């Protein structure tokens, strides 16, 4: 027997905390990045990224999936990734064009999902989309992590390479969503 899900349940509160953590990340990355501040920035980002998995786990485990959660969870993910992308540009760790492509893809897919939703079509997150998110989190987290703490040479180069992989997955998963939703647009042409 399914329990009714309350709007203010644990998964939604965890999702909401991702918005707050994204704001904290922005404020931290605005400051000059000493090793200590960069470590705190990385910790905030990592907690926020980890909360993406945790809220989904609790929502499924305790059958507390809500319409609000379905709306806020992907938005919180996008806010976190967008915050990291934009805040890394002035540091020279991330080219602006990468951030632009990833952010544009997110806007387009959010719009497509909105149109699909209004037509009564729900497109679940694909495995490509999940891998895209994981790769984005790992790449951005690596770029935020301070140099010199771990004995890993070229750490930020490695992070940038991971972000390039995330960029490819971002574009491919965007095409996948568009392909899955093509019937909405093709129906208008008939």
Is the model's pLDDT at 24 over the cut of 60?
A: yes
Mean pLDDT of the chain: 89
Task: Give the tokens for residue 10.
Answer: 């644990």
Domain boundaries, the chain: 10-189
Express each pLDDT in 2-20 by its tens digit.
Answer: 444 576 789 999 999 999 9
| Residue 4, pLDDT score | 47
| Residue 173, pLDDT score | 92
Mean pLDDT to the nearest integer, 81-87: 98
pTM above 0.75, yes or no: yes
CATH code given to domain 10-189 = 1.20.120.1760
DSSP letters of the chain? -PPPPPSS-HHHHHHHHHHHHHHHHHHHHHS---HHHHHHHHHHHHHHHHHHHHHHHHHHHTT---HHHHHHHHHHHHHHHHHHHHHHTTTTSS-HHHHHHHHHHHHHHHHHHHHHHHTT---PPPHHHHHHHHHHHHHHHHHHSPTTSSS-TTHHHHHHHHHHHHHHHHHHHHHHHHHHTHHHHHHHH-
Is the model's pLDDT at 35 over the cut of 80?
A: yes
Given pLDDT bands bounded at 50, 70 and 90, which one contains residue 93? very high
Distance CA 165, CA 135 (A): 7
Distance CA 141, CA 137 (A): 6
Greater pLDDT, 164 or 66: 164
| Residue 165, pLDDT score | 98
Mean pLDDT to the nearest integer, 116-135: 82
């Amino acid at each position: 027997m399914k329990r009714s899900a309350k709007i203010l349940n644990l998964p939604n509160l965890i999702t909401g905390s991702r918005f707050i953590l994204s704001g904290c990340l922005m404020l931290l990355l605005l400051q000059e990045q000493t090793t200590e501040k960069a470590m705190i920035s990385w910790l905030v980002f990592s907690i926020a990224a980890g909360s993406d998995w945790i809220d989904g786990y609790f929502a499924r485990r305790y059958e507390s999936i809500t319409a609000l959660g379905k709306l806020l969870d992907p938005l919180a993910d996008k806010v976190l990734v967008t915050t990291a992308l934009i805040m890394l540009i002035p540091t020279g760790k991330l080219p602006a064009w990468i951030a632009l492509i990833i952010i544009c893809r997110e806007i387009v897919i959010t719009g497509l999902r909105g149109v699909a939703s209004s037509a009564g079509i729900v497109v679940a997150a694909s495995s490509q989309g999940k891998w895209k998110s994981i790769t984005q989190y790992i790449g951005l987290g690596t770029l935020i992590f301070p140099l010199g703490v771990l004995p890993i040479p070229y750490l930020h180069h490695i992070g940038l390479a991971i972000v390039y992989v995330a960029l490819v997955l971002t574009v491919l998963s965007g095409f996948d969503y568009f392909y899955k939703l093509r019937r909405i647009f093709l129906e208008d042409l008939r």
